[in-house]
Structure 1
Amino acid sequence: SVVTQGYEAPEGETERELAAVWCDLLGLERVGRHDNFFELGGHSLMAVQLLNRLARAGMETSLAILFAHPILRQLAVAVKRPGKLTTFPLDDNPLLLRAEGAQPPLFFVHEPSGDPLVYSPLASLLQVDRPVYVLHALGMYALENPPTSLEALAAYHAEAIRRVQPHGPYYLCGWSLGGLLSYEIACQLHQRGEEIAFIGMIDSYHPALLQNSAFDALSAAEQRDAMILTFLSNYVPESDRAVLAQLQRPIDEKKAVDLCSFHRWLPDDMTCEALLLRLNTALYIRPLGLKYRPSSSDFTVNLYTAETQENEDRWRGWHGIVGERSSLHPVGGTHHSIMQQPRLAQLAAYLSAHLLPQTPYNPVVIMHEGVKTEPPLFCIPGAGASAFSFLDLAGLLPVSSPVYVLQARGLTEVTRMPHLTVEETARDYIYAMRQIQPCGPYFVVGHSFGGWIALEIALQLQAQGESVSDLIVIDSRAPGSKQSASHREAIMKLIDIYNLMLNRTLPVTWEELSPLAPKEQLGYLHQVLVDAGLYTNKTPLSALEGVFQVIKANLNTSYYPATRYRGVMHMINAQEGDCVAREKHNAVWSAYAERLTPLLNPGNHMTMLTMPFVAKLADYITTVMSQTRD
């Protein structure tokens, strides 16, 4: 093919030599002096091939220089001839993936292969206002005196980070062993008095979980063979892995890579040299990770996990090691596919949300001030619902009882990103609750999706040694995984909720909405709600936009309680609900509480909170609170 956009022929010997190599690698007939290597189709593996080809042609450079000067004419000026190169492969760290951004940079840290470019697709998907760098370790094994521990390697990387950003706050993230390195770098920077603002671990296991007696019993040579097979099996179809396993022991890595090439197991753009570089780097770095023993800390860590197998630790061994405010974000897929589409998009969405600068927000809405000496009732609405959903209930409770509602972030301020996990939401709500009531016992009520948050609040307070009174959960689905909800599914679910509130069907269908742009769809629905009397003519469209962004985030949230609530859970379900589904949900809920007390309340999922049906609910809650006080 030919790329002709803005073509200008290369000038001078170096430009022409570079252009010839680019043409060969990229499969192009010609390359102009203003062309960008990555825009022409260059990528992770091809970049390393380019460096190797240039070296053979007597033009040596580094990944850092290629990233900084991807345009042919610029690279021609930047390449160095033999004798002018740095001798230490880590000297060019960190590499710049994205230059734009006003916020402090994000630093990705390499996984065992040392390849920095595995993060390129993820970096391109991030919606953040900050530069993105990556630390690599390709070829580290060839150093005269390479780091002999993960701590030592982290020290090199910490110094590289400080060359770009001398002082915190620091934002660090890594996949696999890169998560361990991120954590250790954070520890070392923190010991120097620096602020650590963010640590992201992408399916990173605590080293203790990766060790087992069978592996430990192997000799050093056998452990090396096992690591080679594990590394190469990522490129080999499952049906052919028996062929790979037949390699003569001890395994010669060059012969193993040649076998992969012979069977055409490698991607078309991967050379044996590129694979060997990564394999040998991984063989050196992975044992450093297995020997690493992370120290406990108060760091808030965001752990993004692949699918968790039955009986596998969802926290990957980090629970109790990292700070209490750490959170788990299930992405799904495998340890490798989590970094590939379609999982990569979900991972990027999580990271983008967590890297946004957040100003403090107060979720508390006062429904009834009551008497200050009385313990308050904290109410948590369902997905996309506001404090208004508890208005009738609050009016029927004793006048002495203070009633507060904890509203979702992003509901009334559409510029704020909603919480993406139940654990994060619960932590913010607990902070707000403690400003009102520093100590327990706490009374918490959750409706629908709010039931998940109510349970998590109880579990976190329980872990902190606080007294939690009987937990009241109103018509809530059992915790568990939720499928990804599309824009269409979210808007139709919202319409279903309004139908339940009205106890009739709104005159709107997907067929009417589908030809419209997303914002126009909300505008159309807004007018329908005004006509139905749910909104007034003065209700701004932004009110519906806030509701929609929260409900969509809630629908895409998974929740697996980490432990069991040591108390009574009052499960109050709608009488007009599906009785079969109700029994199934109650059976799951019972696993998360020492005692489950079921109760039916008149009405459907929404009308049970309104008059006249809410009267029975109010009487029951009043009785529970008075008995607990006594």
Structure 2
Amino acid sequence: MHIHRVCRHRVAAHVSSTSSPADLRFFRAGLEAAAPWATGCTRNSLECSMTTPKMTDRERRQYLTAVFADVLDRPHLDLGDDFFALGGDDAKAGELVRRVRREWGVDLDRPVLREHPTVAGLLGFLSARYPLPDPKVVLALRRQGGQPPLFCLHAGSGFGVPYMGLQPNLDADVPVYALQARGLVGDLELPASLDEMADDYTEQIRRVRPHGPYRLLGWCLGGRLAFEIGCRLRAVGEPVELVALLSAFPPDGAPLPDAEVMLRNMLTPPALAEADPELAALCRLPLDHAALHEYFQRTAHPMRRFNARSLAATFEVYRNNERLVRTPVRRTFDGTLLCLVAAQHEPAAAVAAWRPFVTGEVDARQLPCRHGEMMEPEPLRAIGAVLSAALRPHEGDHGEETDE
């Protein structure tokens, strides 16, 4: 995937002449969350602008306090007030347990509430057992919604930002989270293997939603990650409702390109089959950052705001992901795959490629776009329509909970 598409197509979608101030703030927050060094923001401003997944500790405390007070029909209570001493009985305890479990997706029953009957005590128990996800990895694009969330896995670029364009094309009741690569924000070590990356993301997803059903989506490398995470979740007995792959195939044995070829691929505009001669000449290592920056400014390249450190970090993530995506498939997914392929591939090719690694069916469909255009507005509308139909709950889904 060309890195600059992360910026270019979002600029087209969110920074148009008709964008509202809210649209611009949303775009800027998403871009800063993915690459704070590209916009010159500090760590503190990054933490303020980022949408923290699920709830912050403060929001968890406020929510529990409000639910305790509502169930007990009291106008106010303190963090140390005992639920049962204030009139809580088994019926009210059952109502509180159901509401917290439905909101957070956690394992909670009345015996736990009896052991931790205060807001402070229950918050401490839940925070220890269900830590918050890492905000450098998990971006909450839309937290609201009553359906199970859709988790979107990054492509080779490592950015979760491109999926910002998908969530308006999904049913409003579906929360949407995007995962982005470690190494884009802060000096974090890159994963040494695809297994390490998939294990990490599985843990982060389960911090947002401890139990299924799960819904997973990924473009290119992200498709492979969705497959790997789906396998892990099924292996521990969790229901996986959707694994959707966007232009993603098992590795075909192609060798890893050399570093300068990968750099050209990363920087070439999507409208071109290859870099123009001037850009191609600048894609030499070690990089002449001053000359490359001047070219970016003069041509209004979407990466013109990236400084030398940010460009180097992005390239290292991209190069590492190019290596990881070539990892042979060793697992089998216990379920059905939905494959949306680009125009240059036939659906039958996706079925043949993935069928050996799936116990269920491979539902493959073709989109009228190239691989690199999957995150453009028109393809995203088509992808959103297919996903919305697949995600729409059917009668009898997600049945009644018990509180025992």
Query: Aligned partners of 2:372 and 2:289: how far apart in 1?
Result: 24
Q: Is the 8 A contact 1:109 1:174 kept in 2?
A: yes
1:191 maps to what in 2? Answer: 235
Query: Aligned partners of 2:275 and 2:158: how far apart in 1?
Result: 26
1:337 maps to what in 2? Answer: 373
Please say if 1:224 is aligned against 2:253. no
For residues 165-314 of structure 1, what are the structure 2 equivalents within 5 Å? Answer: 165-207=209-251, 209=252, 211-212=253-254, 215=255, 223-234=258-269, 237-238=272-273, 240-247=275-282, 249-250=284-285, 252=287, 254=289, 257-258=292-293, 260-261=295-296, 264=299, 266-267=301-302, 270-272=305-307, 275-309=311-345, 313-314=349-350
The DSSP-based 3-state class of the residue aligned with 2:361 is coil
The DSSP-based 3-state class of the residue aligned with 1:193 is coil
Partner amino acid, structure 1, of 2:301: L
Deviation at 1:359, TM superposition (A): 3.9
Partner amino acid, structure 2, of 1:66: M
Q: Is the 8 A contact 2:182 2:188 kept in 1?
A: no
1:42 maps to what in 2? Answer: 28
Deviation at 1:170, TM superposition (A): 0.8
The DSSP-based 3-state class of the residue aligned with 2:334 is coil
Deviation at 1:134, TM superposition (A): 1.1
Partner amino acid, structure 1, of 2:207: R
- CA distances 1:17-56 after superposition (whole Å, capped 9, x unpaired): xxxxxxxxx99xxx9xxx7474576364465566655645
Q: Which runs of 4+ in 1 moved over 6 A?
A: none
Deviation at 1:291, TM superposition (A): 2.3
Deviation at 1:147, TM superposition (A): 1.9
Query: Aligned partners of 2:157 and 2:271: how far apart in 1?
Result: 17
Please say if 1:157 is aligned against 2:201. yes
2:143 maps to what in 1? Answer: 99
1:67 maps to what in 2? Answer: 51
Query: Aligned partners of 1:294 and 1:95: how far apart in 2?
Result: 29
Query: Aligned partners of 2:198 and 2:372: how far apart in 1?
Result: 23
Query: Aligned partners of 2:269 and 2:299: how far apart in 1?
Result: 13
Deviation at 1:201, TM superposition (A): 0.5
Structure 2: give runs of 5+ residues left out of the alignment.
1-14, 54-132, 397-404
Describe the shift of the 1:204–1:248 C-alpha distance in structure 2 as closer, same or farther (beyond 3 A). Answer: closer
Q: Is the 8 A contact 2:270 2:372 kept in 1?
A: no
Radius of gyration: which is bigger? 1
Deviation at 1:324, TM superposition (A): 3.6
Query: Aligned partners of 2:246 and 2:140: how far apart in 1?
Result: 20
Query: Aligned partners of 2:29 and 2:199: how far apart in 1?
Result: 29
Deviation at 1:350, TM superposition (A): 0.5
Partner amino acid, structure 2, of 1:231: M
The DSSP-based 3-state class of the residue aligned with 1:339 is coil
Query: Aligned partners of 1:241 and 1:312: how far apart in 2?
Result: 35
Describe the shift of the 1:237–1:37 C-alpha distance in structure 2 as closer, same or farther (beyond 3 A). Answer: same
Q: Is the 8 A contact 1:149 1:292 kept in 2?
A: no
Q: Is the 8 A contact 1:237 1:265 kept in 2?
A: no
Q: Is the 8 A contact 2:340 2:365 kept in 1?
A: yes
Deviation at 1:355, TM superposition (A): 0.8
Query: Aligned partners of 1:291 and 1:255: how far apart in 2?
Result: 36
Query: Aligned partners of 2:30 and 2:289: how far apart in 1?
Result: 21
- CA distances 1:447-492 after superposition (whole Å, capped 9, x unpaired): xxxxxxxxxxxxxxxxxxxxxxxxxxxxxxxxxxxxxxxxxxxxxx
TM-score normalized by the length of structure 2: 0.63
1:130 maps to what in 2? Answer: 174
Deviation at 1:344, TM superposition (A): 1.6
Query: Aligned partners of 2:291 and 2:395: how far apart in 1?
Result: 53
TM-score normalized by the length of structure 1: 0.42
The DSSP-based 3-state class of the residue aligned with 1:198 is strand
Partner amino acid, structure 1, of 2:46: T
Describe the shift of the 1:232–1:134 C-alpha distance in structure 2 as closer, same or farther (beyond 3 A). Answer: same
The DSSP-based 3-state class of the residue aligned with 1:319 is helix
Q: Is the 8 A contact 2:137 2:179 kept in 1?
A: yes
Query: Aligned partners of 1:310 and 1:37: how far apart in 2?
Result: 37
More RCO (CA 8 Å, sep 6+): 2
Query: Aligned partners of 1:203 and 1:143: how far apart in 2?
Result: 30
Query: Aligned partners of 2:349 and 2:184: how far apart in 1?
Result: 32
The DSSP-based 3-state class of the residue aligned with 1:307 is coil
Query: Aligned partners of 1:36 and 1:358: how far apart in 2?
Result: 34
Partner amino acid, structure 2, of 1:185: I
Query: Aligned partners of 1:52 and 1:333: how far apart in 2?
Result: 29
The DSSP-based 3-state class of the residue aligned with 2:244 is strand
1:352 maps to what in 2? Answer: 388
- CA distances 1:221-276 after superposition (whole Å, capped 9, x unpaired): x6222221222224574475333333475453847853751551613875356555
Query: Aligned partners of 1:357 and 1:249: how far apart in 2?
Result: 51
